[in-house]
Structure 1
């Protein structure tokens, strides 16, 4: 699709990702990468004594899954993209914890698609990360990506 065609989809749900497991191994690797070794994430015995009943993924791990989920989704692929970069977020809310072993997937709603400069498009999407089998999502955010075509 062209960027202009995608821009015509503002206000619409534009895609859903495949499911991705939030395994304890993934959580541990994120803890090692970030230095965030809070027991709620990595100590299964201590985490059992919390209201969560076990370990949970870091909120920032869930947020950082957006590029992976997006790449494994049916969101429109824009022709001729040379590079895409995360530009930031307007809003991010961590609604529910993701327990170790649960699967998540993303849902995209396009809020804005504008050409900032010739060949540089800024896409703002509302992304909801669903937790399989749970009523409330893990997070909802407004995320901004810049695409260079």
Structure 2
């Protein structure tokens, strides 16, 4: 789709992606080596009661899913900014993520 083909209010929902403990730990070892992503015993004693995914990992997965949706074909989708990002709930192993995109403006 080209920019003029998107309509304000249009909603897209992607396929799902199941996040495994191995996915979480492999990502964390390289990009976010905090205990709640890597150390099961310590994570069980923490505020999340177990291993959780990094917020940066969940953002990356949601963007991957949106790109794979293919609506934009070969046009560049540049992440020039993000506002009001909030992590409302932890993402645990075996949780399934999907992305919902709503067109709220066109520039």
Instruction: Give the TM-score, by structure 1 length.
Output: 0.63
Q: Is 1:87 the equivalent of 2:80?
A: yes
Asked if the contact 1:54–1:100 (Cα under 8 Å) also holds between the matched residues in 2, the reply is: no
Evaluate the alpha carbon distance shift between residue 79 and residue 37 of structure 1 in structure 2; reply closer, same or farther with a 3 A threshold: closer
Q: CA RMSD in A?
A: 1.9
In structure 2, how many angstroms separate the alpha carbons of the residues matched to 1:80 and 1:22?
Answer: 27
Query: How many angstroms does 1:93 deviate by?
Result: 0.7
1:10/1:111 contact within 8 Å kept: yes
Using CA pairs under 8 Å that are at least 6 residues apart, name the structure with larger relative contact order, 1 or 2: 2
Residue 57 of structure 1, aligned match among 53, 58, 74:
53
The structure with more strand, counted as a fraction of residues: 1
Name the counterpart of 2:2: 2
Which structure dedicates a bigger proportion of its chain to helix? 2
Q: Give runs of aligned pairs for residues 1-149 of structure 1, distance below 5 A.
A: 1-6=1-6, 9-13=7-11, 15-34=12-31, 36-73=32-69, 77-78=71-72, 81=75, 83-114=76-107
Does the 8 Å contact 2:14/2:99 carry over to 1? yes
Q: CA deviation at 1:113?
A: 1.4
Instruction: Structure 2: give runs of 5+ residues left out of the alignment.
Output: none
